[in-house]
A = this chain, B = another copy of it.
Amino acid sequence: MNRQIILKNRPKAKPSEDDFEFKEIENNEPRAGEILLESKYISVDPYLRGRMRDEESYIEPFKIGKPIESMIVAKVVKSRNPNFNEGDHVIGMLDWKEQQLSTGENLRKLDTSLAPASAYLGVLGLTGLTAFLALDKIGDLKSGETLLVSGAAGAVGSIVGQIGKLKGCKVVGIAGSDEKITHITDKFDFDEGINYKTTEDMTKAIKKACPKGVDVYFDNVGGEILDAALQNINKAARIINCGAISIYNSTEVPMGPRPEGILIKKSALMQGFLVRDHMQDFERAIQQLAGWLKQGKLKYDETILEGFENTPKAFIELFEGRNTGKMLVKI
């Protein structure tokens, strides 16, 4: 038996399990040139929420009744393509299916001796690449500067913070529980952490944690935490708009204090970052990240739910902040 997960409804606000449907599909045999893949790890990511809307964006919206797709690590179980052997691990944008056929196009073979297969969905995948390249292209960190990171215990945030420390910055993280704060300071070497859920005045809390002001703010959340960060930026600050999970489920246009006055006063920059715009830099970034991994300078977390049937649940839990680090489903 082979199952797939299709989009049943476009979520109204927060996605729910009712928005997804499991369908049984036929098992097919590979034809000449094809391979049969068995999904091993499925990556669930906040940006998929955007593809569930029926609106023009940087990537095509999902279609009702069709399978969701995301980055998946899969094992080749049958091959009629000379470039792939049975037992190879590959990664690519694949359907949420237990098994599927592929021509091998747009798949990349993994070196599982360098890092475990799941790492290619996290620290060596789009999350690690996002952290590294957004800092590289927009952040322009200088030693001695102050880096503030929201979603600091998340997959991207925890790598951002560690790169900040490797570059000689003071690094302050924002996360949503005391456990996460302890975790980012203990495991990931952040200098300080702020639990936004128990902090009444985030503007003051950031000011206290960043007495020299904020030079780079790596924003994974948007909304009111971004507002508070803007109140603390230094001259020529760089704000990396990498994610806005706090507003992704909004049903109305999210409103907030206008930033243009502060941007002018501080000659500061806010810039949206999409890792897909920087594919020509992926190889360089993976080399650097893999180097740090090997030297033990880069740590990472995974929150792994077991079982294909838990894929929608894993996706939904992203919006409840239940993950520490990269959220994955293991099959």
Interface, chain A (partner B; CB < 8 A): 50, 57-58, 219, 222-223, 226, 235-236, 241-244, 247, 253-274, 277
Kindly state the separation between the CA atoms of A256 and B256 in the bound complex, as whole angstroms. 6
Among the listed B50, B264, B271, which residue makes an inter-chain contact with A274, where contact means beta carbons less than 8 Å apart? Answer: B264
Kindly state the separation between the CA atoms of A314 and B64 in the bound complex, as whole angstroms. 60
Known: A253-B258, A256-B256, A270-B271. 20 other contacts (CB 8 A): A57-B265, A58-B265, A58-B267, A222-B260, A226-B258, A236-B277, A244-B258, A244-B264, A247-B261, A254-B257, A255-B255, A255-B256, A255-B257, A259-B259, A265-B272, A267-B272, A267-B274, A269-B269, A270-B270, A271-B271
Chain B min CB distance to A240 (Å) = 10
Residues in B with CB closer than 8 Å to A241 are: 260, 263-264
Copies of this chain, complex-wide, total 2
**A268 touching B267 by the CB < 8 A rule?**
no
Among the listed B222, B262, B264, B265, which residue makes an inter-chain contact with A258, where contact means beta carbons less than 8 Å apart? Answer: B222
**B263 touching A272 by the CB < 8 A rule?**
yes
Residues in B with CB closer than 8 Å to A257 are: 253-255
Given contacts A58-B235, A235-B58, contact A261 B254 (CB under 8 A): yes
**A266 touching B272 by the CB < 8 A rule?**
yes
Kindly state the separation between the CA atoms of A178 and B253 in the bound complex, as whole angstroms. 32
**B58 touching A260 by the CB < 8 A rule?**
no
**A267 touching B260 by the CB < 8 A rule?**
no
Which residue of chain B has its CB nearest to the CB of A254?
B258
Which residue of chain B has its CB nearest to the CB of A275?
B267
**B268 touching A269 by the CB < 8 A rule?**
no
Residues in B with CB closer than 8 Å to A243 are: 264
Residues in B with CB closer than 8 Å to A269 are: 269-272
Residues in B with CB closer than 8 Å to A58 are: 235, 265-267
**B265 touching A260 by the CB < 8 A rule?**
no
Which residue of chain B has its CB nearest to the CB of A137?
B267
Among the listed B235, B242, B258, B268, which residue makes an inter-chain contact with A256, where contact means beta carbons less than 8 Å apart? Answer: B258
Interface centre among A223, A243, A247, A267 (most CB of B within 10 A): A267
Chain B min CB distance to A225 (Å) = 11
Kindly state the separation between the CA atoms of A262 and B244 in the bound complex, as whole angstroms. 10
Chain B min CB distance to A88 (Å) = 34
Residues in B with CB closer than 8 Å to A254 are: 257-258, 261
Residues in B with CB closer than 8 Å to A259 are: 259, 270
Residues in B with CB closer than 8 Å to A258 are: 222-223, 226, 244, 247, 253-256
Which residue of chain B has its CB nearest to the CB of A277?
B267
Kindly state the separation between the CA atoms of A261 and B222 in the bound complex, as whole angstroms. 8
What are 19 sample pairs from A and B whose C-beta atoms fall under 8 A apart? A58-B267, A222-B258, A242-B264, A244-B260, A244-B261, A247-B260, A254-B257, A254-B261, A255-B256, A255-B257, A259-B259, A259-B270, A263-B270, A263-B272, A264-B272, A264-B273, A265-B272, A269-B271, A269-B272
